[in-house]
Amino acid sequence: MNVLITGASGFVGRTLIENLSAQNKFKVSGSVRASSQISVDDAYVVIGDIDGDTSWQAALQGIDVVVHTAARVHVMRDSVVDPLAEFRRVNVAGSLNLARQAIAADVKRFVYLSSIKVNGEGTLPGKQYTADDKPQPQDPYGISKAEAEQELRSLIEASPMELVIIRPPIVYGPGVKANFLSMMCWLWRGIPMPFSLTRNKRSFVALDNLVDLIVTCVESPAAANQTFLVSDGDDLSTSELLHAMGEALGKPACLFPVPIWLLTLLARAIGKPAIAQRLFESLQVDISKTRTTLDWTPPVRVNAALKKTADSFIALQRKT
């Protein structure tokens, strides 16, 4: 089976290519935006920026399955004038353009890596998002992903190509960036944090678990034209995550109690309500459909995945 991975140099794309390449039943190629993103070019195609005009012809020749991981990702401090327009240019127009060319190239299946932000930004206590919930995206990134899903369904339902959509929550693993990396840096430095009273629950997914599900969706007949949510299957509060990550790093978390209402008020006062939401509110996903439809179980437990992430972080710290 010939598989094309877009975003081959990205956090998910790199590991996905390694996983698929290790299995003899797949012949894998990847696309990147620039030749500087790769060290070898025999299995990669440079396609430039992704938008509605990108040519994918060279990358799609002989391909059976496309896994589209490339995207304009969530940006904490976006500097563009119109973030939504920029997200739509890459994530909506770019994805549709690829899908149209994939149909023309007789690609059999299109696996689209979306985001739990299509569902929304948080769940009520005791509630979980499901794959069949009405989308309620709230930020430009989530809106663009929801629009891309809708447009892809409309385009592909009239074609012989199959569509599979996967919505992950926060993905972590070796090389993780953004907030997860910041958390590890705080723990590594022994910085006290006022989060011991958190009782929220949030779903996360280890990179290895996400990649395993993507591989399943590449080849499973049951995945055709389905939408799946994914997680590690073990939801954690902010304090539980910090304690578990601290143990993995060998740097016990130093947490002290401050009322959550006060921390939330302070975050809003300094214009950071989104940070308070991620730290103190819940976001849980129901992966029962994924388990039953695909006969899939996350292969890596949370503690093992956190340890692998921590070991990579520690190795990098020792080099610097």
Calpha distance 320→318 (Å, rounded): 6
Structure tokens at 211: 């990649």
Structure tokens at 54: 């990108």
Strands 162-167, 44-46: pairing is unpaired
Calpha distance 306→138 (Å, rounded): 29
Nearest to 71 by CA among 91, 54, 44: 91
Structure tokens at 244: 């578990």
Q: To which residue do tokens 């012949």 refer?
A: 27
Exactly one of 44, 112, 129, 141 is catalytic; name it.
141
Nearest to 199 by CA among 124, 282, 123: 282
Residue 15 host element (H or E): helix 11-21
Structure tokens at 141: 């990134």
For 76, 118, 312, the CA distances from 95, given in Å and listed in that order, are 22, 16, 32
**Beta-bridge partners for 67:** 5, 111
Centroid of chain to Cα 71 = 10
Q: To which residue do tokens 């127009």 refer?
A: 93
Handedness of CA 308, 37, 2, 118 (dihedral sign): positive
Annotated catalytic residue 141: yes
Q: Which residues are catalytic?
A: 141
